[in-house]
């Protein structure tokens, strides 16, 4: 697409945008009665307008039925709380590219799920006792790996193999990950890493990484916190063994929203070790309360506690929007939004684009390295009503989300930068 730096051009793109109406499905934060330019969906997505109604519905069931809400429907839909998580599965399976709904389950919180899945898939034995990951991954992943390894009686310094960014472009290349897998294959028990780097916005080639891991018979899992609802995923087709995510970023599930997991169906009939809870027990025998854990089929068997119904209500409401639009349409607009933002940033030598310039290697985020006056620029953007994210020491992350951001939003960023660097 050929871009132009003008408000008229941005508004023309918005008029032509087939997703322009989805913005009306969200509450846009305001300051002094004026909509803010919200480019922080990579940290917390905006509130869907249907969220309040979905939440109030379940509060009414609680009010009117109490404990019977688990078994008695609160309205003509006939739905009950007992199997509420199943309502989210069709959309989740579609969004992550599962072969069936049994491969996914909304449950717990992200870091809890990391520990649960590592318990099952990290099985150190003899020489194969190491974990391949990426250096500087999100703190949740770093802390989870470090403490999980220690709980197994192992030393993180001996177990963790980190693939570092290249010093020239500060990115981690697929070939570097492949090389690390091949060089350490005899010692690797599992591979665990983000599917999309939270800091740089780089998308890793999960298909190639999973294929390389499978060639060496090493299970591979991904943290999809910044990838789900952001980029198209085909976890089953790619042969990914397991994955987890949060839903409060691009899925707009609310602060601290419920997480979810994917477990490839090839592992469903394996007697994998796990940390169990009663909600992961076979549903048809759960209330027998007998000793001896019998896992539910598929990903459901990794559930622990009674699900949080209000959180699932918000989750279902937000998932419906993404599933209805479809990841293909979201991805097309995402590439256009970030492409336009990259175009508007190009004139400023003071701003270095850390995110890859190849659209296939990035999602709905551009990370800007601003070596001089970076914090000052960030404050200037914020004062102008542009909400982004600052990461020390010199990084500004801007994430135009295709569900609710416009091309005019992106143009506003360019206009504020022009004012900053010419005054």
Q: What is the CATH number of the domain that holds 301?
A: 3.40.640.10
Tell me, yes or no, whether 181 and 140 share the same domain.
Answer: yes
Residue 56 within any structural domain of the chain: no
- For residue 254, tell me if it sits in a domain: yes
pTM: 0.96
In three state form, how does the secondary structure of the chain look? CCCCCCHHHHHHHHHHCCCHHHHHHECCCEECCEECEECECCCCCCCECHHHHHHHHHHHHHHHHHHHHHCCCCCCCCCCHHHCHHHHHHHHHHHHCCCCHHHEEECCCHHHHHHHHHHHHCCCECCECEEEEECCCCHHHHHHHHHHHHHCCCCHHHHEEEECCCCCCCCCCHHHHHHHHHHHCCCEEEEEEECECCCCCEECCHHHHHHHHHHCCCCEEEECCCCCCCCCCCHHHHCCCEEEECCCCCCCCCCCCCCEEEECHHHCCCCCCCCCCHHHECHHHHHHCCCCCCECCHHHHHCCCCCCHHHHHHHHHHHHHHHHHCHHHHHHHHHHHHHHHHHHHCCCCCEEECCCCCHHHECCCEEEEECCCHHHHHHHHHHCCEECEEECCCEEEEECCCCCCCHHHHHHHHHHHHHHHHC
Would you say residue 209 lies in a domain?
Answer: yes
Shared domain for 277 and 136, answered yes or no, is yes
Looking at the structure, do residues 26 and 149 belong to the same domain, yes or no?
Answer: no
Could you tell me if residue 69 is inside a domain? no
Per residue in 227-284, pLDDT tens?
A: 999 999 999 999 999 999 999 999 999 999 999 999 999 999 988 999 999 999 998 8
What's the start-to-end Cα distance of the chain, in Å? Answer: 30
Kindly list the distances between the CA atom of residue 348 and the CA atoms of 66, 214, 262, 344, in Å, as whole numbers in the listed order. Answer: 60, 44, 42, 9
Does 76 score more than 80 pLDDT? no
Task: Read off the CATH number of the domain in which 380 is found.
Answer: 3.90.1150.10
Asked if residues 298 and 280 have their Cβ atoms less than 8 Å apart, the reply is no
Flag whether 287 is in a domain: yes
Q: What is the pLDDT of residues 121-162, one digit of tens each?
A: 999 998 999 999 999 999 989 999 999 999 999 999 999 999
Considering 252, 280, 307, which residue would you say is the last residue of a domain?
Answer: 307
Let me know whether 162 and 300 are in one domain.
yes
Banded model confidence at residue 287, pLDDT cuts 50, 70, 90: confident
pLDDT bucket at 363, cuts 50 / 70 / 90? very high
Identify whether 216 is part of a domain.
Answer: yes
Q: Are residues 234 and 158 in the same domain?
A: yes
Percent of the chain whose pLDDT exceeds 70 = 100
On whether both 151 and 247 belong to a single domain, the answer is yes
Query: 169-173, 208-212, 286-290 — which is least confidently predicted?
Result: 286-290
What average pLDDT does the segment 5-13 reach?
98
Which pLDDT value is given to residue 1? 84
Residue 384 resides in a domain: yes
Same domain assignment for residues 121 and 18: no
Q: What is the mean pLDDT of residues 305-312?
A: 96
Q: Is the pLDDT of residue 68 over 80?
A: yes
Using a pLDDT cut of 90, give the percent of the chain over it: 95
What is the count of structural domains for the chain?
2
Same domain, 371 and 233: no
Long-range contacts of 44-48, Cβ-Cβ distance < 8 Å, separation of 24 or more = 44/248, 44/249, 44/255, 45/248, 45/249, 45/250, 45/251, 45/252, 45/253, 45/318, 45/401, 46/252, 46/401, 46/404, 47/252, 47/254, 48/252, 48/317, 48/318, 48/321
Could you tell me if 206 and 196 are in contact, meaning their C-beta atoms sit under 8 angstroms apart? no
Encoded tokens for 175: 């070939």
Whose tokens are 């020390």? That residue is: 392
77/32: higher pLDDT: 32
Are residue 32 and residue 120 in the same domain, yes or no?
no
Residues 298 and 351 in one domain: no
Domain end point (choices 276, 307, 338): 307
Q: Tell me, what's the pLDDT at 56?
A: 96
Owning domain of residue 143:
98-307
Whether residue 2 lies inside any domain: the answer is: no
Give φ, ψ of 107 to 5 degrees.
-170, 150
pLDDT at 129: 97
At 74, is the pLDDT very low, low, confident or very high (cuts 50, 70, 90)?
A: confident
The residues, any chain, with a CB within 8 Å of residue 23's CB and separated by 6 or more, are 403, 404, 405, 406
Instruction: Please check whether residues 303 and 346 belong to one and the same domain.
Output: no
If asked whether residues 179 and 122 sit together in one domain, one would say yes
């Amino acid at each position: 697409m050929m871009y132009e730096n003008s408000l008229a051009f941005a508004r023309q793109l918005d008029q032509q945008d087939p997703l322009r109406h989805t913005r009306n499905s969200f509450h846009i934060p305001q300051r002094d009665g004026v909509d803010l330019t919200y480019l922080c969906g990579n940290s917390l997505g905006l509130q869907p307008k249907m969220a309040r109604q979905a939440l109030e519905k379940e509060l009414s069931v609680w009010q009117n039925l109490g404990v019977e809400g688990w078994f008695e429907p609160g309205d003509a839909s006939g739905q009950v709380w007992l199997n509420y998580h199943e309502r989210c599965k069709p959309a989740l399976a579609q969004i992550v590219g599962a072969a069936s709904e049994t491969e996914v389950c909304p449950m717990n919180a992200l870091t809890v799920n990391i520990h649960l899945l590592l318990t099952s898939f990290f099985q150190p034995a003899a020489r194969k006792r190491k974990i391949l990951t990426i250096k500087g991954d999100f703190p949740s992943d770093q802390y989870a790996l470090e403490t999980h390894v220690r709980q197994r009686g192992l030393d993180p310094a001996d177990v963790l193999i980190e693939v570092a960014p290249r010093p020239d472009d500060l990115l981690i290349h697929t070939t570097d990950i492949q090389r690390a897998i091949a060089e350490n294959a005899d010692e690797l028990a599992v591979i665990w890493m983000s599917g999309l780097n939270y800091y740089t916005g780089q998308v890793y080639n999960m298909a190639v990484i999973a294929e390389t891991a499978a060639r060496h018979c090493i299970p591979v899992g991904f943290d999809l916190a910044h990838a789900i609802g952001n980029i198209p995923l085909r976890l089953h087709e790619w042969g990914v063994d397991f994955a987890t995510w949060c839903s409060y970023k691009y899925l707009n599930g609310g602060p601290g929203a419920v997480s979810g997991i994917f477990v490839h169906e090839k592992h469903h009939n394996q007697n994998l070790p796990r940390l169990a809870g009663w909600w992961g027990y076979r549903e048809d025998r759960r209330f027998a309360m007998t000793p001896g854990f019998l896992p539910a089929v598929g990903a459901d068997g990794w559930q622990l506690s009674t699900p949080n119904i209000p959180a699932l209500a918000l989750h279902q409401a937000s998932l419906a929007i993404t599933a209805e639009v479809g990841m293909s349409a979201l991805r097309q607009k995402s590439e256009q939004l970030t492409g336009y933002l990259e175009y508007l940033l190009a004139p400023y030598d003071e701003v270095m684009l850390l995110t890859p310039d190849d659209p296939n290697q990035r999602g709905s985020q551009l990370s800007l390295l601003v070596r001089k006056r970076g914090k000052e620029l960030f404050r200037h953007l914020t004062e102008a009503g542009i909400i982004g994210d600052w990461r020390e020491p010199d990084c500004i992350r801007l994430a135009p989300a295709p569900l609710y951001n416009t091309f005019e939003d992106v143009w506003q960023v360019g206009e504020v930068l022009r004012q900053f660097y010419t005054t």
